[in-house]
Structure 1
Amino acid sequence: MAKTLKKPEMINQQVGWCGGCGHGIIQRLIAECCEELGLVEKTIQCVDIACAYWSIDTLNCDGIAGPHGRCAAVATAIKKVHPESNVYVHAGDGCSYVIGLSETCFTAQRDVPITMIVVNNGIFGMTGGQLCIATTLVGDKTKSSKAGRSDEQFGKPFDMLEVLSNYDIEYAARGALYDPKHIDQTKKMLMKGFKNQMENKGFSIIEILSPCPTNWKMSPQESMDKLRDENEKIFPVKEYVDRGGVQNG
């Protein structure tokens, strides 16, 4: 029997993301999870001053835009003051793994019971498409690596979830957006992250492989193909840590 899908009521207006951007898919998944878990009134979002910022205007919940790269620290402070709330981060890979690397690591080290959602699109998006030292693939061309990323000059990208797997955290997983199967899998990861928080189980981080057609200079379909054929080879889709279940690192 066909199922009728409706826009989540938590989304209250159109967004400003580029066509084909994955942030909009992620925002919808967040809204669906919060509504299905009955958490809308308890939710506080902490977004970055970058592409994720659009979410602050479009989701009908409390929220704050933290300083660039400092989302995990801001979310930690909010959770300490409002421990009953569903506090989550929506930020990019540059924010979380480069500018805010120490904030992310110390939030994990302290096992703060928030849900951190990291959008891995392999680039600094809002600032015009510069190389992200953590996630830009070797050979990828950006505004700051016009000949393609060279490992001799910039080093190689690294899997931050492998690093965080060494911390005593509740949950770490990576999803992807390139087809319906993986979008559904990503939603289940997000649901687990929110449930963990409501049960006060500790720090959960869900990284999501997401396309950036504008800065990759590709069509939306080409960018989805790149995620599947190239990015996932470096950043595998799987659960890395599930303290309440099995560790798969």
Structure 2
Amino acid sequence: MEIKSYQNQAEMLLKEYLLADSFIPYTSVICGICACKMVYDLTQFFSTVYFKSYPSLSKVQRTEWSNRSISTVHAIYITVLSLYFVFWSNLYSDHQYAGLITFRSSALSTFTLGVSVGYFLADLGMIIWFYPSLGGMEYVIHHLLSGAAVAYSMLTGEGQLYTFMVLISETTTPGINLRWYLDTAGMKKSKAYLINGVVIFVAWLVARILLFMYLFYHVYLHYDQVKQLHSYGLFLIFVVPLVLAVMNLMWFGKIIRGLKKTLAKRQ
């Protein structure tokens, strides 16, 4: 009976406070940060047990090894849910609901974005703490812009559709992290490394070039709704994706050059 009483109290706390509409943003951000910590610790534990080369890595390499594990898990999580909201959910459909699509949100969409904000905060903190070992200034700018845009969309409910469109670009992250793992493991000349390069090229083209073109086209088609956003929302919809698109093009150029170099060595 006593255990049942505690269980009922826990369920009441969860429903009335942690998952109440006003608490969802804060609960989700905390969940995101805690999830990052959990993945980091589990990665260290399993890597020590199952990867013989892991203990021989430098301290910075071991940190980056675990950090990339966090970004991989987040990328899978946010890509799956973003694809669901953009292409399969009726939440942002032009025909299913009344009202402007730029102001639509739900408890699940807000919670999803909050977990992502938690990740960006945790990862940005690690990048700054170990700067520049985990990434240069371009990574700091990327995380600041992305984190600010996602946080605003989470807190206000504005422009969540376009936020999810941009977050689909995280689908390229697992491939990039795998490339680093293969390189660190000394498998740069393996067939897996070559296949990985081709997959990154295709994924980047689709998720970070073509998808951004679709985003801008979607904004153009729904401009009458987009222009009713608040000024900060307009800034995040027009400026942030544009800056990220330019950075994506710059990185895409590096990917092309790297792929050409890899293919040339195999001829």
Is TM more than 0.5 here? no
By percentage of residues, which structure has more strand? 1
Task: Please tell me whether Structure 1 or Structure 2 has the larger radius of gyration of its CA atoms.
Answer: 2
- Tell me the TM-score normalised to structure 1 length: 0.30
- Tell me the TM-score normalised to structure 2 length: 0.28
The structure, 1 or 2, with the larger RCO (C-alpha pairs under 8 Å, 6+ apart) is 2
By percentage of residues, which structure has more helix? 2
